[in-house]
Amino acid sequence: MRSLSVKKVNIMKNKTLKIDILARVEGEGGLKLKISNGIVKDVQLKIYEPPRFFEAFLRGRDFREAPDITSRICGICPIAYQLGASQAMEEICGVKVEGQLKTLRRLIYTGEWIESHVLHAFMLNAPDFFEAGSVIHLAQVYPEVVKNALRMKKAGNEIMIVLGGREIHPVNLRLGGFYKVPKKRELRALLEEIKWSKQAAVDALMFISKFEFPEFKQNYEFLALSDPDEYAILGGRLVSNCGINLPVNEYDNCLVEEHVPHSTALHSHLKGAGTCLLGPLARYNLNFEQLTPLAKETAFNAGLGRHCYNPFKSILVRMVEVIYAFEEAERIIEAYEEPGSPAIEVKPRAGTGYGATEAPRGICYHRYTIDDNGIIQDSKIVAPTSVNQSRIEKDLWDLVQANVGLTDEKLKFFCERAIRNYDPCISCSTHFLTMDIERD
């Protein structure tokens, strides 16, 4: 299968390479590289999208509004924000959502994983392996592959519509559960398409496994939620391959944020330990044993081992998670029994609560403080891209240094391609900003 081929040339002079607008990523960002005599001197993933101030305008709002307000942070993964906010508020108020309501939350989250992962894998990432400008060019060569990908994505959207009312910024989720729960027949109507899509996802992974992947392995510290009983999506403990094992309420003692001049989003990094990587590769490496037998088997058939440290192969891991998500959706729907009530009552009380879920791109963290009347006094939301930004820059530094002999055009393309591996959601990360004003 045709892949990227490059011709190296000797470059031994000072140069600055700029990518003003990154293509095929969500949000607005660019890249600046400085190279002197063949040595990389600086790498800046420049996020210039205007700040969005979500934490600021949550203050003073009713605690019940948080899930709907935060869902507007991202149109691709609104469920991550809705459920993270819900978890934090429910913790403050002493409410624990269990049983079928918790299972329905997991089901709608599978829909989000499916639509997001398939969108990224085929519409944004796969064209890079053919040096294609867009999925339109890919569709001209492999029309059935793209058609099947769109059908899989639609199946994920349908799960979100049935449970959430619509696929973009769903309106049916609330603190304690849902405004309305689906009938058994409504969910079972999705089964035929889910079963078709599960097999289509297996076939899609095997198609992608034939791509030629650049040799680029990194020594990552992976960080993900982990649950001994299931592949973590809705919660768990913060776990890394370097010894971290903490409850979610210790997140702020684990990761710290800092301002960098070239970004309107804060950079997050491990306290005293540097960068870490969130997302599919982290989940796969840390939680492999919780995957289903079919997902594991297909991963092995696609050439993945128990561990994967090559970010260019993250497209494979995303499709493993798509297979898992379709299996989970099928399992949940077949066992579904309508709960007696669509939600548990959540009454306000003063306190601070924490929530974290696994968005398609990694851990989405929420912390809120409310008063006795349920008015939000303080909020902190950390999107996974905010944590991954520093790691992306580190990987780019190593990648450029290893390929510094490429022509400028080839190097620019290679860097853009590398950034797309991480599926950065730039808009999600730009609501972080501290502003200091000095007046005479």
Annotated binding-site positions for Ni(2+): 74, 77, 425
Place of tokens 């299968």: 1
Binding-site sequence positions for Fe cation = 77, 428
* Gap between the Cα atoms of 95 and 115, Å rounded: 30
Coil, helix or strand at residue 383: coil
Binding-site sequence positions for Mg(2+) = 55, 381, 431
The Cα-based distances of 254 to 54, 257, 268 in angstroms read: 23, 10, 10
Place of tokens 């393309």: 413
* Gap between the Cα atoms of 353 and 340, Å rounded: 27
Place of tokens 């001994």: 228
- The C-alpha angle with vertex 300 and arms to 243 and 325, in degrees rounded to 5, equals 75
Binding-site sequence positions = 55, 74, 77, 381, 425, 428, 431
Coil, helix or strand at residue 240: strand
Helices 78-92 and 99-118, axial angle in degrees (round to 10):
150
183: DSSP letter:
P
List, in order, residues 6 or more apart from 389 with CB less than 8 Å away.
Answer: 45, 47, 263, 265, 267, 268, 424, 429
Pairing of strands 255-258, 39-47: unpaired
